[in-house]
Structure 1
Amino acid sequence: MDLTVLGYVIYLLISVVLTVWVARTLSRNGRIFLADVLKGDENLADAVNRLLVVGFYLVNFGFVALYLRQDATIDTARHLLEGLSVKIGIVLLVLGAMHLGNVFVLNKIRRRGTLEREQQPPVAPQAWTPPAGA
């Protein structure tokens, strides 16, 4: 088997396993955060969580597929390992950037919801006063 093809197979296996592991970890641990962001609506949190996981898979698998191509020929084990380390490192950076982007957006939504909850009066007004000068 050609070392380039072997590199492709190893790259795909590692990238797919990493993507699935990260998606499952984020989904399992992010559910509580989503429920808080969505004001305790568990069903909506589960639905949004599933949609985020599907989007995560689509973007990451698309990137992995597009980044598969190797321009240089791989003729030694050293070149194979160097090429794999660069490719897998880039995939890990993309996974991390996507995670940080998701957390940033969800934190903004959460902060906005918290501010809206704090702006409402704790009790209903007791009386109405007409404006001055009327």
Structure 2
Amino acid sequence: MDYTVATYLAYLLTAVPITIWVAATLSRNGRVFLTDVFHGEDGLADAVNRLLVVGFYLVNLGFVMLYLRGGGDVADLTGLLETLSVKIGVVMLVLGVIHFVNVMVFSSMRRRGRAEADRARQAAAYQQQVYAQYPAQPRR
């Protein structure tokens, strides 16, 4: 077995478990956030969470597989370590960017949902104020 094949194996044996660990961590800790975004609707939050995990796996494992071949031939142990560190570093950066984008999207959804809820509360309070000015009319 040459160093290029050893690099591929080491890369896959490192990148795939990292991707699985990140997906599990995001799923477990993101559930609370999604429940808040979807106003306590646990079923909807769980469904979206599962869909996000599937998408996360597809995008990241697809990237890991596509990036496997890049880097050229590896001639020695030093080249193996250098190539492996670049590949794993790039995978981790991609994982981080995708996570950051997800957090930004759901934060904006959360802000928008809270703003809509605040507007609805303000409208209800205004209606109560307006109607409180007029006494109830007796029914005939």
TM-score normalised per structure 1: 0.91
Instruction: Note the aligned Cα RMSD (angstroms).
Output: 1.6
What is the alpha-carbon distance in structure 2 between the residues aligned to residue 101 and residue 42 of structure 1?
A: 23
Moved over 6 A (4+): none
Is 1:10 the equivalent of 2:10? Answer: yes
What fraction of aligned residue pairs are identical, expressed as a percent? 56
Which residue number corresponds to residue 127 of structure 1? 131
Contact kept in structure 1, 2:71 and 2:83, CA below 8 Å: no
5+ residue gaps, structure 2, are 134-140
Q: Deviations over 1:32-56 (max 9, x none)?
A: 0000000000010000000000000
CA-to-partner distance for each residue in 1:81-118, whole Å, 9 max, x for gaps?
Answer: 00000000000000000000000000000000000011
Q: Which residue does 1:109 correspond to in 2?
A: 109
Structure with greater Cα Rg: 2
Q: Secondary structure at the match of 1:74?
A: coil
TM-score, with normalisation over the residues of structure 2? 0.87
Structure 1 unaligned blocks of 5 or more: 130-134
Q: State which drifts further: 40-49 or 70-79.
A: 70-79
Distance 1:70 1:47 in 2: 36
Q: Secondary structure at the match of 2:63?
A: helix
Provide the rounded CA distance (Å) in 2 between the counterparts of 1:33 and 1:96. 18
Q: Distance in 1 between matches of 2:70 and 2:49?
A: 34
Matched residue type, 1:47: A
Q: Distance in 1 between matches of 2:96 and 2:23?
A: 11
